[in-house]
Structure 1
Amino acid sequence: MKITFLGTGTSQGVPVIACNCNTCLSNDSKDKRLRASVLISIGNKNILIDSGPDFRYQMLRAKVQSLDAILFTHEHKDHTGGLDDVRAYNWVTKQSMEVYAEYRVLEALKVEYAYCFAPNPYPGIPKINLNTITENPFNLLDIEVIPIRGMHLKLPVLGYRIGDFAYLTDFNFISEEEKKKLTNLQVLVVNGVRKEKHISHYSLPEAIALIEEIKPHKGYITHISHYLGLHAIENREFPHNISLAYDMQELEI
C-alpha cells in the first residue's frame, strides 16, 4: 500500500490577503501546504480521502491517472470543494465516480452540487454515484474500510482505517471506544492545526499526545496552518517516531 499526501494544509488561519509570515514566504517546498487530502494506492486501485478546492492541481501534480473512489470525512468546503473536477476521470473511464460518506454529508453534496443530480442533467457535468456509509466497516473494491468516529467541535466527522493505516482529520475529540479501532497501526495521521489550543481542531500537543497514546509505528501531523511554523525547524522538536507530513510525501506500508 502506498500513501501519498496530496495536501497537508488548512484554510484555518489563512488571511484573505497575501500573508507575509516566514512560513508563507519560505522557499522550502515542505512549507507549501495545499488543503489536506491523501491518496491510498493498493495494487492498481486508487482511493482518495477528501477532494478539497485544490483537488485538480493536486491530482495533476501527483500525476494520478486513475481514481476509483472518494471517501469524505465531512461536508466542509475545504474538504469537498473540488468534487466538480472528477469529470476528467469520468471522461477517461466512462463511469461515474464512486463517492462514500455518511448520509448527512451526501445530502450536503446534493445541495452543493445540485446540478450533478438534476433529473435532466446538463451534458458534460460530473457523474457521481453516492454510497451511504455508517460507522460500521464496509467493503470498497474488495478492501475493508473501517470508519473512525470523531468530533469536530459539535460536528460528527469520520476518519478511516485501511489495513495498518489510519487517517484522522478535523478531529478535536475521539472516544475511548473508537480508539480501540486504532490498535496495531503502522501509520497514524492526525490533524494538528497549530501549537495553541483550537476550538474545533487538535492542537499540535494534543495530536502528539493522541499518537503517543495509540502507539503506531509512525505518526504524522497533517491539516497544518501557517501558524505552526517552518517544517525544517518544527520537525526537530518532535518525538523520534512523529513527523510533520508534507505535500507529495509518499509512504510505503
Structure 2
Amino acid sequence: MEIKFLGTADSGGIPVHNCLCSICEDYRVKNRQNLATCAYIESDNKEIILLDAGVENISFIFGKKTIKAVMMTHFHPDHALGLLRLRYSKDSIDCYHPKDKNGFSDLFKHKKAIIYHENVPFEKIIINEIEFTPIPLKHSKNTTGYLIESKNKTIAYLTDCAGLYNSSIDFLKSKNIDECYIDAGLSPNLSKGNHLHFEEATKILDEIGAKKSFLIHTSHTILEHIKLNNIKLKYKYL
C-alpha cells in the first residue's frame, strides 16, 4: 500500500497569485506548483480511494479509473472542492466523513452520484481489504484524520488539526505506524490558530513514534520563514 499526494499545501497553494516572495518566485522559475492537501491510495484491484477531494479536477485526473470511496477529513473548501464535479460521475461513489450538519456548499442537497456516510470515531471502515479508522482532530470544523491499515503497512493521515485529543494520541501510540503525515500549516507569526506550528507538530510526531514522519499542509509563508532563518527541521515538509 502506498499513499500518493496530489498536493500537500494549504488552501492558497504554491505559488500564491501575484506573490513575489522567494518561494513563489522559485516555484515559477522551476514551473512547479503545490496544490491543496489531497491524497489517494490505489488498491490492489486498481480502484482509487481518495483521502480528501480538494483538487478541483479530480474527475479529470482519474479519467476512466474507478473511484471506490472518498475518505473526507472535513468539509472546508480546500478539502472538498473536487466533490462538486465528482458528483456528476456515472458511478456511485461512497464518501465517508465526520459529522457535519452543513457540509460544503450544496453537496448534501444535491448528492447526485455521491453517497454520504457519517463516520464514527475509532470505528473501522473496511474498503478493498484496507481498514480506515477515523481519528478525532482539533480543528475549526469537525474533523477526523485516518489510521490506514493494510496487510503490509500502517499509515496515519492527520490533516487539518491544531492538536490531537488524548484519546487520539493514545490510540496512535498503541499502533506500530510505518508512516505519519501531520498538519503543520500554522504561519510562524501566529501564536495560535486552527493548525499546528512545525514545532508543535514535531513534538506530536515524536510522541507517536512512526518509522517515517512528514509535515504537510505547508504554505509559502512557512517555507520562506524556514529558509530565511536557516531552520533545520527534524521532519521535512512534503
Q: TM-score range by the shorter chain?
A: 0.7 to 0.9
Matched residue SS, 2:221: helix
Sequence identity, in percent?
25
The structure whose RCO (Cα within 8 Å, separation 6+) is larger is 1
* Cα pair distance change 1:169/1:71, threshold 3 Å: same
Q: Deviations over 1:95-127 (max 9, x none)?
A: 2111111231xx42475225624xxxxxxxx41
The total of aligned residue pairs comes to 226
Once superposed, what is the RMSD of the aligned Cα atoms? 3.1
* Cα pair distance change 1:59/1:223, threshold 3 Å: farther
In structure 1, what is the Cα distance between the partners aligned to 2:78 and 2:38? Answer: 10
Question: 2:98–2:119: 8 Å Cα contact kept in structure 1?
Answer: yes
How much does 1:20 deviate? 1.1
TM-score between both structures, scaled by the size of structure 2: 0.82
In structure 1, what is the Cα distance between the partners aligned to 2:34 and 2:64? Answer: 18
Partner of 1:123: none
Higher helix share: 1
Which letter does structure 2 place at the counterpart of 1:156? N
* Cα pair distance change 1:200/1:4, threshold 3 Å: same
Alignment equivalent of 1:189, drawn from 154, 161, 181: 181
Alignment of 1:6 onto 2:11: no
Matched residue SS, 1:185: coil
In structure 2, what is the Cα distance between the partners aligned to 1:215 and 1:14? Answer: 29
Partner of 2:34: 33
Question: 2:15–2:220: 8 Å Cα contact kept in structure 1?
Answer: no
Which letter does structure 2 place at the counterpart of 1:82? G
In structure 2, what is the Cα distance between the partners aligned to 1:61 and 1:238? Answer: 32
Partner of 1:128: 114
Alignment of 1:243 onto 2:230: no
Question: 1:195–1:205: 8 Å Cα contact kept in structure 2?
Answer: no
Matched residue SS, 1:108: coil
How much does 1:148 deviate? 0.7
Partner of 2:137: 150
TM-score between both structures, scaled by the size of structure 1: 0.77
Deviating 4+ runs (over 4 angstroms): 12-17, 28-31, 58-64, 230-236
Matched residue SS, 2:75: coil
Partner of 1:180: 170
* Cα pair distance change 1:215/1:229, threshold 3 Å: same
How much does 1:64 deviate? 8.0
Partner of 1:102: 98
Structure 1: state its 5+ residue gaps: 118-125, 246-253
* Cα pair distance change 1:141/1:116, threshold 3 Å: farther
Structure 2: state its 5+ residue gaps: none
Question: 1:231–1:244: 8 Å Cα contact kept in structure 2?
Answer: no
Alignment equivalent of 1:219, drawn from 197, 210, 213: 213
